Amino acid sequence: MMRVSLVSGLILSAAMFFPAAAQNYVAVGTLTCTGGEGVGLILGSKKSYRCTFSANAGPTERYSATVTKIGLDIGITGETVMLWTVLAATNDVREGMLAGNYAGAAADAAIGIGGGANVLVGGSTDSVVLQPVSVQGQTGLNIAVGIAGMTLR
């Protein structure tokens, strides 16, 4: 029960970091990223992911991602799955529109099995918002709270 409360609190904290970030945006698809195995250091971490963008209307695209966290990040994590709703200023989905740099808030915890949330803004001309659809799933022993940066290629 405590783990559920902790993860719920982490999600709310991350989601409130950019409370108005998604105003006047439309959902254009879903981004799913898998990977991120590694060790978190006291002041941060850098992990790699394989991502798939499934547009509501359009082709599926593959991206590679590097996620950097700055702040408290201590522990070891196994494979992580992150799922975001992709929001954009218009529903005009262009090839490669998610490529670019993102920044936002991040929070996650795991004792055996855990989760977290990352709210990120960026992409082409900072016109894309990635909002967590649900708790990211991860395994390991880890706690991380801070600022996250992600590069999609």
Backbone region of residue 24 per phi and psi (left: phi > 0; alpha: psi in -120 to 50; beta: other values): left
Integer CA distances (angstroms), 45 to 12, 27, 70, 136, in order:
22, 30, 7, 17
- Per residue in 63-101, pLDDT (tens digit) is 999 988 888 777 777 788 888 999 998 888 889 999 999
The amino acid at 123: G
Residues in the chain where the model's pLDDT stays below 50: 1-21
For 11, phi then psi, to 5°, come to -65, -45
Among residues 90, 77, 80, 102, which one has the least CA distance to residue 32?
A: 80
Q: What is the pTM of this model?
A: 0.74
pLDDT score, position 105? 83
Q: Please report, for the chain, the start and end positions of each structural domain, with discontinuous segments joined by +.
A: 2-152
pLDDT at 79: 84
Q: Looking at residue 55, what is its pLDDT?
A: 96
